[in-house]
Structure 1
Amino acid sequence: MEQEYIKLIFGLKLKQIRTDKNLSLFGLSKITGLSKSYLNEIEKGKKYPKPDKIVILSEKLDVPYDQMVSLKLDKNLAPIGELLQSKILKEIPLELFGIKESNLIDIVANAPAKVNAFISTIIEIAQHYNFSRESFFLASVRSFQEANNNYFNDLETQVLSFSKAYQVDLTRPISSNYLEEILIEEYGYTIHKNELSSYEALENLRSVFVPKTKTLLLADGIDEAQRTFVYAKEIAYNFLKITDRLYTFPWIKFESFDEVLHNFYASYFAGALIIPKDTLTLQLETLFAKETFDKKSFLQILQTFNASPESFYQRLTNILPKAFNIQNLFFLRFTHKAGSEKFHLKKELHLSHQHSPRANETNEHYCRRWISLQVLKDISENKNSHEFNIQISNYEDDGAKYLLFSSATNDPFKEDTYRSISVGLLINKQLERKLKFLEDPTIKQQSVGVTCERCAIKDCELRHAPAIVLEKEAKNKKIEHIVNELNAKFTS
C-alpha cells in the first residue's frame, strides 16, 4: 500500500483514540514525552512514528500495539478508509479544479467524523440513485466544462496549428475524404468502412479503433457528417499525442478519469476543427443583429458546416460564452421512441448555474410544454429528416425566462427513435443587448414547469401527471399553519 495511506490511517486512529480519552495534543505530549508538533504531524498523516515511539503511545494510551498499527478502521472511520483505499483521489486530476490532494488529506485529518458523515451521505445518495463510478467521472467532466465556461483556448489554438500544418482551409466545409487522407498518409491508419455491420451486437457503435495495427472500423450506417467527426476525433488523439484514450465511439466502458477527460478533449478539438470559431462567430453576429428571427438564416448557418445538429449546438456552447459573453445557458439532448410517452434526458450542460430544466432520477414526467419535447413529437409524426423550432420558455416558479433553439433528427441506428438537441439562453439584460430579435412577436412564448409533479400551471392540456409534489407541500404548510394557531391559542 502507498505510504501516504498508511501514515494517514495511523494518524486518524491516533487522533480518534486521543479524542475518545479526552486528551488534548498538549496532554498527550506530557504523558508520552513526545513533542506536540511531532504528534500533530503524525495525526495529520505527514509522519509515521518509529516502532519505539509507537510502543510509548500504546502504553500511555492503554491500546494494544497491534491495534495501533493495524490498518483496520472502526465503523466511524471505515468510509474514509474505503475512499482512500479506492484511490479515487488519484484517478481524478484534482489540479484541474485547483485542488491539491494534500488539502483534502488535511480536511480529512482535521475533522474525520464530519468528513465521514459527508462521505456516508454521498455514498447513500449515490446508491439510492444508482450513481455509478462512470456517472461520477462524467459529472466531473461536466463540472470541469462548466468551471471554464466550456471554452478551452489551448485546444482552439491547437486546431489553428493543425490547420496550418496540414493546409486545412477553415473557411470552407471540411470533407471526410480530406481527413481520411491525413489519417492514412500521416498517421498510418487502415480504415474499414463496413466491418461493424457484420456484428448485430455492435449496432449502436459508430467506430472501433484497434491500436496495435492502427485499424479504424466504421459502421456503414453513418452519414458524411458523422464520419467526418469520427475522423476529426482520431486526428485529435494523434495530433495532441493522447495515448490514454477510449477505443470505441460511443464509449462502452472506461478505466480511468483520464480516458473520459481525453475523450472530451478529442471531441472538443473535432468540433472546433469542423466548425471554426471565426466563421461561426461572424455568421451569428449577422443573425443576432436582425430585428426579427430569421429561421432560414439560422438553418443555413447550421448547414454551412459538415456537422450534425448535435455538433453544431455543442459548438454554440463554446462560442456564445466566449465571443458574445452569453454565459447563462444550458444544453440538452433528449431521446424518444415514436408511439411512446417517455422522453429520456441523455446529456446536459449548465453554464454559470444550474438552470431549469435538468435531469431527474425520480421517474417524474418532464413538462410537455418544452420545445425540446415538442420537436420530438413533431418529427415522430411527420417523419421529416430535421425538425426545428424556437420558443421563449417562462418558468413562473423562479421568474426565469429562456430563449430556446431546438432541433430534432432521427437516430440512424435505431428504428423509430429520435433525438432532440436544444440550447437555452437565459433572457437578461446581456442577452437583450446581444440579440436584437428578442422582441419578435412571432416567437412563441410558453409558460412551462420542470415536471408535471412539480408544476403549478392550472388546466394544462398537456399535463401527464397530477402535481403531487406541490399538493404534498401545500398539505404540509396547512398542517404547520394549524399547529401554529393551536400553539398560539393554548399559550395565552
Structure 2
Amino acid sequence: MISASDRVRLIFGLKLRQLRQDKGLQINELADLAGISPSYLNEIEKGKKYPKSEKIFALAKVLDTHYDNLVSVSLGKRLEPIEELLNSNILQELPLELFGLEAADLLRMLSEAPVKLGAFVSTVIEISRNHGLNVEQFYFSALRSFQELHDNYFEEIEDIAGTFIRAYLPENEVTFREEWLKEHLEKSYDYRIIEFDEMEKPELTGIRSVVLPGSPAIMLVNRHLGAKQRAFTFGREIGFRLMELSPRPYISSQTEAESFDQVLNNFKASYFAGAILVPRESLVMGLAGFFARASWRPEKFLDLMNTFDATPEIFMHRISNIMSRHFGVHEIFFLRFDKETHSQVFRLTKEMHTAKLPFIHSSANEHYCRRWVSLTILDELAQLQEDKKWDGSALCQAQIADFIDTSSSYLLISLAKDSPPREGYNSSVSLGFPLNERVKTLIRFLDDPRLVRKGVNQTCERCRLEACRERSFPPVIWRRQQRNKTLKELIPGLRETLIS
C-alpha cells in the first residue's frame, strides 16, 4: 500500500514536473539551472526521491515560485483529481500487492501521464458519485476481484482449518457443532457469550452478533439465529482469534467498513469458519458421488448439505471454493438474492464470478430476469409459507440456463430458505456451472429431462424477448440499442438518396 511518505514524494514530483513543463524546460535544462544532476531530478519527478531544503530553494528560484508553494501537498486545479485520489482512504489502505502490483507501478503511471490520468480519475469519480457509489462498495468490489483472481480458493486458510480440524474435531464426527464451538470460545479464549433479542436490545434489531473486546471478551448473539447460523458465528470468531486478524469488524450484518484490510480480514475469518464447518476432504468426496449420479436428485443434494452443520449459503460458498482446485471447473458464479415475502422486489445482495462472462450483476434500477430459478424458487417458498405448508427446511431446484444473446449455457443449482433474524425475508443462494466439456464429463445428470431448460437474460430492460410471459418491465434498453443500430445502418444509404 502507498504510505504517507510515498504520497508526499509523489505530490512533490508531480508538482515539480508540471511547473517545469509550464516553463517550457527540458529536464536537463532545469537540472543545469538548479545545480542538480538530471538523473537525480528524474527520480524526484517520479516520486522516488525527496530533495533537501537547499535543493528545493534552488528549484523554486528557477521555476519562479515560492518554497512554501513547492512543498505544500496541494496540486492545483489541473491535478486536483490525482490529489483527491492520493489523499483518499482507498489508495492508502488498498493492499496492491494482493493483486500482483507494487506501489511503484502506480507511482510510475501517475508520474508519466498525470494530466491524462487525472482526467480519467475525475471521470471515474464523477460516475461513482452519479451512481451513489461509496468507499465501502469499492472495498467489497475489490474483495470480489481478489476472490476471482484466486478462483475463490485459498490454500493457506485451508491448511489452517485442516490443522484445527485434526486437533479438535471429535472422533467419528464429520463437522463441528455449534455447542462445541461455543465452548471452545469460552474455554480457549475466555469469552462470555450472551444471547439477546430485539425486545431486550431494540438498538440491535437485525444484527446477528456483536463482540465487545476486553477481558473477558463479551459476545452478544441474536437469540433468533438458527443453530447453523450460530455455528458459523462462533467459527468465524475463532478464525479471528486463531489467525490474529486485525483490524476487524465487531458488528456482524454490517455493510460499512473502515478499511479494505477490515473487509479482507472478515473474509478470511468467514472462509475459515466455512472450512471447519464443511471440511474440504468430506465435501470433495460427497460432491464427486453426487455429480456421478445419472439423474438429478435434489433431495440428495440436500442430504449432502445436511451432513454438515452449515447454512445453505456457507455450503454453496464451500462448493465454489473447491471447484477449481479439486474438480478443474473454473468458470463458476455465485449469487444471493433477498426478497421480502409480500414483495415483488428481488435484491442481489452477494455475487462472485470466477470468469468474465455474461452474468447477472447488481443493478438497483433494473428488473432481474424472472426466468432464473434463483428468483422463481423464492416465489415458490413465499407461497408455501403463505399456505402454511413450509416445513422449515431449504428448498432445492435446478435448471439449465441458456443466455439468450450468447452461446453460454449453465447448470444453475439454487437453495432457498428464510433469513433470520430478519422477519419476513427469504434468501436464495445459487451456483452456476458452465456447460463446457469438463462439466459435461464431470456431471452425469445434465441430460435428465427433469432439469428444465430456459432461455434467460440479465434484466427485463435488456431482453429482446418481447412476448416473454415472465416479463416484469418493458425492454427499454434493448429497444434503445436497436434504434441506435438502425440509425447507424441508415446513415450511409440516406446520403446516397439525398445526392441522387
Q: Specify the TM-score bucket, using the shorter chain as the normaliser.
A: over 0.9
Pick the aligned partner of 1:56 from 58, 61, 66.
58
Q: Secondary structure at the match of 1:418?
A: strand
Q: Which residue number corresponds to residue 324 of structure 2?
A: 321
CA distance in 2: counterparts of 1:233 and 1:2, whole angstroms: 33
Pick the aligned partner of 2:78 from 76, 79, 90.
76
The 1:243/1:6 distance shift into structure 2, 3 A limit, reads: closer
Q: Which residue number corresponds to residue 269 of structure 2?
A: 266
Gaps of 5+ in 1: none
Q: For residue 171 of structure 1, report the CA deviation from its aligned partner.
A: 4.6
Say how many residue pairs are matched: 491
Taking only the aligned residue pairs, the percentage that are identical comes to: 38
Supply the AA of the counterpart residue of 1:373: L
Q: Which residue number corresponds to residue 469 of structure 1?
A: 477
State whether residues 196 and 217 of structure 1, in contact with CA within 8 Å, keep that contact through their aligned partners in structure 2: no
State whether residues 152 and 320 of structure 2, in contact with CA within 8 Å, keep that contact through their aligned partners in structure 1: yes
Q: For residue 491 of structure 1, report the CA deviation from its aligned partner.
A: 6.3
Q: Which residue number corresponds to residue 425 of structure 2?
A: 417
Q: Which residue number corresponds to residue 105 of structure 1?
A: 107
Q: Secondary structure at the match of 1:12?
A: helix
Q: For residue 118 of structure 1, report the CA deviation from its aligned partner.
A: 2.0
CA distance in 2: counterparts of 1:302 and 1:43, whole angstroms: 58
1:235 aligns with 2:238: yes
CA distance in 2: counterparts of 1:11 and 1:40, whole angstroms: 9
CA distance in 1: counterparts of 2:70 and 2:355, whole angstroms: 48
Q: Which residue number corresponds to residue 366 of structure 1?
A: 368
Supply the AA of the counterpart residue of 1:308: T
1:178 aligns with 2:186: no
State whether residues 402 and 425 of structure 1, in contact with CA within 8 Å, keep that contact through their aligned partners in structure 2: yes
Q: Which residue number corresponds to residue 14 of structure 1?
A: 16
Q: Which residue number corresponds to residue 255 of structure 1?
A: 258
State whether residues 163 and 169 of structure 1, in contact with CA within 8 Å, keep that contact through their aligned partners in structure 2: no
Q: Which residue number corresponds to residue 493 of structure 2?
A: 485
CA distance in 1: counterparts of 2:41 and 2:470, whole angstroms: 66
Q: For residue 251 of structure 1, report the CA deviation from its aligned partner.
A: 2.8
CA distance in 2: counterparts of 1:257 and 1:159, whole angstroms: 23
CA distance in 2: counterparts of 1:472 and 1:387, whole angstroms: 38
Q: For residue 367 of structure 1, report the CA deviation from its aligned partner.
A: 0.5
1:277 aligns with 2:280: yes
Cα deviation code 1:402-440 (max 9, x no counterpart): 110011111222332211111111111111111111111
Q: Which residue number corresponds to residue 3 of structure 1?
A: 5
Supply the AA of the counterpart residue of 1:338: T
Q: For residue 252 of structure 1, report the CA deviation from its aligned partner.
A: 5.5
CA distance in 1: counterparts of 2:66 and 2:249, whole angstroms: 49
1:145 aligns with 2:147: yes
Correspondence list, 1:250-399, <5 A: 250-251=253-254, 253-361=256-364, 363-383=365-385, 384=390, 385=392, 386-399=394-407
Pick the aligned partner of 2:228 from 194, 200, 225.
225
Q: Secondary structure at the match of 1:359?
A: coil
Q: For residue 354 of structure 1, report the CA deviation from its aligned partner.
A: 4.3
Q: For residue 320 of structure 1, report the CA deviation from its aligned partner.
A: 1.4
Supply the AA of the counterpart residue of 1:411: S
CA distance in 2: counterparts of 1:67 and 1:320, whole angstroms: 56
Supply the AA of the counterpart residue of 2:194: H
Q: Which residue number corresponds to residue 446 of structure 1?
A: 454
Q: Which residue number corresponds to residue 440 of structure 2?
A: 432
CA distance in 2: counterparts of 1:293 and 1:43, whole angstroms: 64
Q: Secondary structure at the match of 1:397?
A: coil
CA distance in 2: counterparts of 1:159 and 1:49, whole angstroms: 49
Q: For residue 85 of structure 1, report the CA deviation from its aligned partner.
A: 2.1
State whether residues 328 and 425 of structure 1, in contact with CA within 8 Å, keep that contact through their aligned partners in structure 2: yes
Supply the AA of the counterpart residue of 1:215: I
CA distance in 1: counterparts of 2:203 and 2:383, whole angstroms: 29
State whether residues 275 and 315 of structure 1, in contact with CA within 8 Å, keep that contact through their aligned partners in structure 2: yes
If the length of structure 1 is used for normalisation, what is the TM-score? Answer: 0.95
State whether residues 299 and 396 of structure 2, in contact with CA within 8 Å, keep that contact through their aligned partners in structure 1: no
Supply the AA of the counterpart residue of 1:445: R
Q: Secondary structure at the match of 1:248?
A: coil
Q: For residue 20 of structure 1, report the CA deviation from its aligned partner.
A: 2.3
Supply the AA of the counterpart residue of 1:145: Q
Q: For residue 392 of structure 1, report the CA deviation from its aligned partner.
A: 0.6
Aligned Cα root-mean-square deviation (Å): 1.9
CA distance in 2: counterparts of 1:170 and 1:450, whole angstroms: 45
CA distance in 2: counterparts of 1:291 and 1:167, whole angstroms: 34
State whether residues 453 and 467 of structure 1, in contact with CA within 8 Å, keep that contact through their aligned partners in structure 2: yes
The 1:289/1:59 distance shift into structure 2, 3 A limit, reads: same
CA distance in 2: counterparts of 1:337 and 1:265, whole angstroms: 30
Q: Tell which deviates more after alignment, 267-276 or 352-361.
A: 352-361
State whether residues 229 and 307 of structure 1, in contact with CA within 8 Å, keep that contact through their aligned partners in structure 2: yes
The 1:119/1:468 distance shift into structure 2, 3 A limit, reads: same
Cα deviation code 1:419-462 (max 9, x no counterpart): 11111111111111111111112210001111111101131011
Q: Tell which deviates more after alignment, 52-61 or 273-282.
A: 52-61
State whether residues 292 and 444 of structure 2, in contact with CA within 8 Å, keep that contact through their aligned partners in structure 1: yes
State whether residues 197 and 220 of structure 1, in contact with CA within 8 Å, keep that contact through their aligned partners in structure 2: no
If the length of structure 2 is used for normalisation, what is the TM-score? Answer: 0.94
Q: Tell which deviates more after alignment, 190-199 or 37-46.
A: 190-199
CA distance in 1: counterparts of 2:90 and 2:425, whole angstroms: 37
The 1:354/1:91 distance shift into structure 2, 3 A limit, reads: farther
State whether residues 364 and 451 of structure 1, in contact with CA within 8 Å, keep that contact through their aligned partners in structure 2: yes
CA distance in 1: counterparts of 2:316 and 2:8, whole angstroms: 48
Supply the AA of the counterpart residue of 1:302: M
Q: For residue 201 of structure 1, report the CA deviation from its aligned partner.
A: 2.9
CA distance in 1: counterparts of 2:284 and 2:235, whole angstroms: 21
CA distance in 2: counterparts of 1:458 and 1:255, whole angstroms: 45
CA distance in 2: counterparts of 1:331 and 1:296, whole angstroms: 21
Cα deviation code 1:274-325 (max 9, x no counterpart): 0011111111111111222122211111111111111111111102122111
State whether residues 11 and 73 of structure 2, in contact with CA within 8 Å, keep that contact through their aligned partners in structure 1: yes
Q: For residue 219 of structure 1, report the CA deviation from its aligned partner.
A: 0.9
Q: Which residue number corresponds to residue 215 of structure 1?
A: 218
Supply the AA of the counterpart residue of 1:193: E
